Amino acid sequence: MASFSGFIRKSPAERLKRYFGSKDVPASVDFDWRGAGRGTELVRSIEQLIAELPEKRQDAIKAELDLLATLSDKVGLIAAEQVCSGEEIDIEGLHGIQDILLFIAIEHPILLNRIEVQASMSRRHGGQNWSTFQFDDDGRPWTLENEGARAAFLADTLAVLDLPKHRKHVADWYETVRTHAVTGEETTFTHATIYVEERAESELGFGVSDTLERQVVAKVLEVGVACDPKSRLVEICARGGKKVRDQFSTVFSKNFAPHSKPPVEVPRRDVFLKLLKREPDFEVVPSDGIARVEISSLDFADTNGGIARFEKRGEVESIHEFLDRRFGNTSPLRAGSWTILAATIRIILAAQEGKRQRTLTVTLRLPNTTTSPNTTESDRQFIFGLLERWGLLAPAFEEFDVLEAG
């Protein structure tokens, strides 16, 4: 856990004063909130203020400062921006992550839990406790706002967790706004964080008589769900392994998209599209059973904010040849100000005896989205193997479970 001393030294003096004022921490009129050189003297002075409070209030303030310090990094900043954007809270004029977190702790303390959850989910993104599922875009709306569907989803989630019915539980629904790192495009995600009272643990602690006593400590289990109805993506963060997260995706589908086809898992793996600035030589071997491979579309983002999409199909001319013929040296493939944002690749399989020719389509999008709709699991593994061979996709994680403490 991060030390809050560094957080205090980096925090704006006026915001610190307001924060401790909101906690009813008494300080003299001439208390120096700026401190001598913003160093250890300020930290010691504030620690002395806290030390004069009752013990329980000391513990509460120190715990919150420790939380704020833990969130005061780049991941915490992005989480705060996403949560505040979803709540339409303006933090644009604030000076750095310390100022933002103190402002939220003063004005919107309930959001600190959401920011903590969002930061935690971001840190696990793509890891062993994370799965992303893709629904087909069938045009059927999801029932995310339906209270009955939410209640049923919570009940089914508790059933998956297989905990006794008397355990306390609550679901927190909210929205965040994510900004794409390349295009600046904003996407609104709907979140549900489900908190469930887990089996309590027995720990040693000091009792009222200053002697060691065995104490029962309550624990909380979290399940995080984030979904984007526009792109039809659902992200699930939960411990317990892939099979458990598959169950959660089934529960989501049952309650919010009952008339849609079941989703397929979409691994979050970094994609390398810079290689496509030049026409690639897609290496294939006879055992692949591939007739040909073509790039059917390329999306570009310009450093000045422009976005362009080009599509070209057919064996006569590739999309690279088309762009060179049409734009020459001004082609986005040659101009340094353009970045390839996404690419769609069509893998045309050779016709087999008794079967007609098939085409597998995969879309890669920065930084880590790989979408291949309407394919079987064996097709997806075949596609991912080819993408790795061609250098367009990072290697996969080795799947194993991590049991989290607390």
Question: Token digits for 183?
Answer: 């295009």
Strand pairing category for 212-228 and 186-206: antiparallel
Query: Distance (Å, rounded) from C-alpha 85 to C-alpha 81?
Result: 6
C-alpha span between 241 and 63 (Å, rounded): 31
Torsion angles phi and psi, residue 43, rounded to 5 = -60, -45
252 neighbors 234 (Cβ within 8 angstroms): yes
- CB distance 132 to 233 below 8 Å: yes
The set of residues, in sequence order, having a beta carbon less than 8 Å from that of 44 and lying 6+ positions away, is none
- Furthest-apart CA atoms within the chain: distance in Å: 89
Alpha helices in 257-366 (DSSP H): 319-327
pLDDT attached to residue 397: 54
Instruction: Write the burial class of residue 129 (CB in 10 Å: 0-12 exposed, 13-18 middle, 19+ buried).
Output: buried
* pLDDT score at 252: 97
First to last CA, the chain: 14
d(CA 71, CA 96): 12
Task: Return d(Cα 147, Cα 149) in angstroms, integer.
Answer: 5
β-partners of residue 192 are 173, 225
Cβ-contact 176, 191 below 8 angstroms: yes
pLDDT, one tens digit per residue, over 242-262 is: 889 999 999 999 999 999 988
Helix (H) or strand (E) segment spanning residue 105: helix 96-107
Q: Is 215 helix (H, G, I), strand (E, B) or coil?
A: strand
For residue 161, how many other CB atoms are within 10 A of its CB? 19
pTM above 0.85, yes or no: no
The SS3 assignment for 285 reads coil
DSSP for residue 305: S
Sign of CA dihedral 346, 351, 357, 360: negative
How far is residue 198's CA from residue 219's CA, in Å, rounded to a whole number? 5
Q: Which two tokens stand for residue 111?
A: 């959001």
| Contact criterion met (CB below 8 Å) for 264 and 327 | no
The residue whose two tokens read 């709540």 is 87
Q: Which of 198, 203, 202 is nearest to 220 (CA)?
A: 198
Integer CA distances (angstroms), 188 to 181, 343, 366, 370, in order? 15, 23, 18, 20
C-beta separation of 387 from 396 below 8 A: no
Per-residue pLDDT of the chain (406 residues), as tens digits, is 457 888 998 899 999 999 999 999 988 888 888 765 456 788 888 999 999 999 889 999 999 999 999 999 999 999 999 999 999 999 988 988 999 999 999 999 999 999 999 888 877 765 668 888 988 888 899 999 999 999 999 999 999 998 887 889 999 999 999 887 777 788 999 999 999 988 777 777 777 667 787 777 777 888 999 999 988 999 999 888 888 999 999 999 999 999 998 888 877 788 999 999 999 999 999 999 999 999 999 999 988 878 899 999 888 899 999 999 999 999 999 988 899 999 999 999 998 877 788 999 999 988 888 888 777 878 888 999 999 999 999 886 544 343 343 3
Per-residue pLDDT reduced to its tens digit, 150-208 = 999 999 999 999 888 788 999 999 999 988 777 778 899 999 999 998 877 777 777 76
Q: Which residues contact 301 (CB under 8 A, 6 or more apart)?
A: 182, 183, 307, 338, 339, 341
